[in-house]
Structure 1
Amino acid sequence: MISTLLVVVVILALIFDFINGFHDAANSIATIVSTKVLTPFQAVLWAASFNFLAYFLIKDHKVANTIAKTVYENFITMHVIMAGLLAAITWNLITWWFGIPSSSSHTLIGGFAGAGMTNAAFMGVNPFHAVNYGPIINIVLFIFLAPIIGMLIGMAINILIINICKNARPSVAEVWFKRLQLISSGALSFAHGGNDAQKVMGIIYVALVASKVITSDAKMPEWIPFACYSAIAAGTMSGGWKIVKTMGTKITKVTPLEGVSAETAGAITLFVTEHFGIPVSTTHTITGSIIGVGLTKRVSAVRWGVTINLIWAWVITIPVSALVAAGVFAIIKLF
């Protein structure tokens, strides 16, 4: 029997997925908007279409499985999942309001882990025994590795393109790179949908197991991927314009050529990490790629003050989300 609490948790998960879409829309569209390849409306429609396309082509759901295993099953309850989602939604809205491109993925992971650890404490168990450190360590490592990988690939692609096209007429080259940006931004949007929607799939799957609707070895019901891809695409359609400004103009000035390089580098990084089931941050990845193409011009082309502030936001996202989730879980337990 499906409980009211399960329905509430699934709705909260899809709300988070929607917010993830508009919070992270900037990852896919910032460069094509800043280079005037597409209007803002055309850009979000383009990105949302590729977000949803991932539903038809990605079927392994390795990232969802990783998320589902970050907290041990005996410490997961419906209240733990609810507290984690409420904390993640709260932090995502705060960072969106201030135009900070933080990681929706790490917000969700931090919230889920924080609530699970607090539940363990209420049960009289060491809170650190609630968390599966294998996936958590990989996730924390890729807070730093994903932007570095994106940066290095972005630099390599940008240098390669510059050398290949060094004899091309600038006006002709710009027209072609604007066309190529449609492909590169589409690839990044596809990778974003395939990576980020899976994180919510994992949470909903865990909720079904915790409420005993399905067993932990059951196949994921098909409605979960469909609902998650639909929610993230709808969120992308609404667009997070404050973050678009940060990503598209504040880190470094991006030309169509550099947009192609950054988006291609971001897409490659996300495809590879998704293949290995590593839930990396799309935000961190594309930010690193944008920094990489900026560095190919000169070090001073990157606005390091803005970049350092972003890094601080990335570092505190998991612990802050965990603390907020702990507080929310404690409040829920009182009632």
Structure 2
Amino acid sequence: MDTFALIVTIGVALGFTYTNGFHDSANAIATSVSTRALTPRAALAMAAVMNLAGAFMGSGVAKTVSEGLIETPHGNRGMWILFAALVGAIVWNLVTWYFGLPSSSSHALFGGMVGAALAGGIDVIWSGVLEKVVIPMFISPVVGLIIGYLVMCAIMWLFRHSNPHKAKRGFRIAQTVSAAGMALGHGLQDAQKTMGIVVMALVISDVEDAGDPIPVWVKIACAVMLSLGTYAGGWRIMRTLGRKIIELDPPQGFAAETTGASLMFTTAFIFHAPISTTHVITSAIMGVGATKRVKAVRWGIAKNIILGWFITMPAAALVAAASFGIVNVAFL
């Protein structure tokens, strides 16, 4: 086994985690920043710490990524397939970050895995892709929108007789808790996705056996890189989520974050499904905003975001397939 290929693949996996951090950090904190519940730097620092903590809370999602989507490849060819998958995901993350589009890092990774596997002649576990990726991709935004709407309706009813200014101050404080929950869920979901890739690389290289517990150093490395990327910030995407979909107030921000965090914990612990943080929080914001009035949501911006969701997997798959073609010529 080529040690160079293993080192390069793990390095690129950690690089993907870093881009995931600055790409998806906005998911956890955009609403808190836009409502002025937290300053941007305080929000980023809090999100980085909670991402780090969330990474150590489970391993079900990592197992799904490492064993449930593509057959484990073998030898140097298998290692370069993983490398190409990561390149596809990173390129798409950078493209969508540049344009300020909150696409899903998770689906970029899954698209990269499928594209590289197909290009490299590795079997794709289509049942796993359907059950763990495609179905949640459609269901989670719908659930996020509905629950966000219902949570906001409940808040409006419970506080209907409260002083509006006092209620907003209280929810601004409460948002520090809901934003922390979002960041914890992001760490729980997204750090594990990279852990799954690193574990697959270690299995290919015979350093680990399939089914072994995730090494502690893998958890630490993935968690730290996700946290560093989060602290680097994702200002372009933060503006889209925090201001362009709808002008949020503190109760709305709290409702959206609570909805998003609840769905991420539920899917990670019960279903071991790697859902998209981006999809969940964006749809929750839309659901919350619709309680004000349907036209309050800027559906033109929402339409562009949803279009990005559908493009992400095929686009990352194409980049990954092209990357494997280049690697195949250069190294294999």
TM-score bracket for this pair, using the shorter chain length:
over 0.9
1:137 aligns with 2:130: yes
The one-letter code of the counterpart of 1:297 is K
The one-letter code of the counterpart of 1:83 is A
CA contact (8 A) 2:185 2:264 kept: yes
CA contact (8 A) 1:96 1:243 kept: yes
1:272 aligns with 2:272: no
> SS where residue 134 of structure 2 aligns?
helix
CA contact (8 A) 2:55 2:189 kept: no
> SS where residue 38 of structure 1 aligns?
coil
What is residue 81 of structure 1 aligned with on the other side?
82
What is residue 228 of structure 1 aligned with on the other side?
222
> Structure 2 CA distance, aligned partners of 1:108 and 1:55?
17
What is residue 114 of structure 2 aligned with on the other side?
113
Counterparts in 2 of 1:131-210, with a 5 A limit?
A: 131-138=124-131, 139-210=133-204
1:64 aligns with 2:62: yes
RMSD over equivalenced CA pairs, Å: 1.3
1:302 aligns with 2:297: yes
1:249 aligns with 2:238: no
Q: CA deviation at 1:2?
A: 7.7
Query: Which stretches of structure 1, 4 residues or more, deviate above 2 A after TM superposition?
Result: none
> SS where residue 279 of structure 1 aligns?
coil
* Structure 1 gaps, min length 5: 121-126
CA contact (8 A) 2:55 2:191 kept: no
> SS where residue 92 of structure 2 aligns?
helix
> SS where residue 254 of structure 1 aligns?
coil
CA-to-partner distance for each residue in 1:95-143, whole Å, 9 max, x for gaps? 00000000000000110111011111xxxxxx7xx11112200211122
Counterparts in 2 of 1:24-43, with a 5 A limit?
A: 24-43=24-43
Q: CA deviation at 1:215?
A: 1.6
Q: CA deviation at 1:55?
A: 3.5
> Structure 1 CA distance, aligned partners of 2:53 and 2:199?
21
> SS where residue 297 of structure 1 aligns?
coil
> Structure 1 CA distance, aligned partners of 2:116 and 2:216?
27
Number of residue-to-residue matches in the alignment: 325
What is residue 6 of structure 1 aligned with on the other side?
6
> Structure 2 CA distance, aligned partners of 1:182 and 1:204?
32
What is residue 123 of structure 1 aligned with on the other side?
none
The one-letter code of the counterpart of 1:12 is V
Higher alpha-carbon deviation: 270-279 or 46-55: 46-55
What is residue 103 of structure 2 aligned with on the other side?
102
CA-to-partner distance for each residue in 1:291-332, whole Å, 9 max, x for gaps? 000111111011111111111110011111111111000110
1:261 aligns with 2:255: yes
> Structure 1 CA distance, aligned partners of 2:211 and 2:23?
33
Q: CA deviation at 1:74?
A: 4.1
CA contact (8 A) 2:73 2:204 kept: no
CA contact (8 A) 1:154 1:261 kept: yes
The one-letter code of the counterpart of 1:4 is F
Query: How many percent identity over aligned positions?
Result: 42
CA contact (8 A) 1:98 1:242 kept: yes
> SS where residue 73 of structure 1 aligns?
coil
> Structure 2 CA distance, aligned partners of 1:116 and 1:294?
40
CA contact (8 A) 1:45 1:237 kept: yes
CA contact (8 A) 1:2 1:213 kept: no
> Structure 2 CA distance, aligned partners of 1:84 and 1:192?
21
1:216 aligns with 2:215: no
TM-score normalized by the length of structure 2: 0.95
Higher alpha-carbon deviation: 89-98 or 34-43: 34-43
> SS where residue 77 of structure 1 aligns?
helix
Higher alpha-carbon deviation: 1-10 or 28-37: 1-10
CA separation of 1:155/1:111 partners in 2, compared to 1, >3 Å: closer, same or farther? same
TM-score normalized by the length of structure 1: 0.95
What is residue 324 of structure 1 aligned with on the other side?
319
